[in-house]
Amino acid sequence: SIKSLLHRGALTVATPSKGELHEYYLRKVAEGKNKMSVLNAVRAKLVYRMFAVIRNNKVYEKEYQYKLA
């Protein structure tokens, strides 16, 4: 199911690796947050990014630079 795939993706991010979401996971756990709650937040971030890619019809850019108006 989609939920299990998102859970696996969140676990992959949370395991020892590099990246923004891994740093987020470590920071929140160090702040005393429950590990499962942090995994749920990581899942939500993944979903938000997936929908943004679909909505904007663009390829995901890891190092996205915002354009100044």
Block residue for tokens 């947050």:
33
23-35 pLDDT per residue, tens: 999 999 999 999 9
Listed in order, strand segments (DSSP E) in the chain are none
Q: Collect all residues with Cβ–Cβ distance below 8 Å to 53 and sequence separation of at least 6.
A: 59, 60
Q: What is the pLDDT of residue 69?
A: 67
Pick the closest to residue 19 from 37, 42, 41, 36 (CA basis).
Answer: 42
55-65 pLDDT per residue, tens: 989 887 777 67
The predicted model scores a pTM of: 0.76
**Using CA atoms, how far apart are residues 56 and 13, in angstroms rounded to an integer?**
24
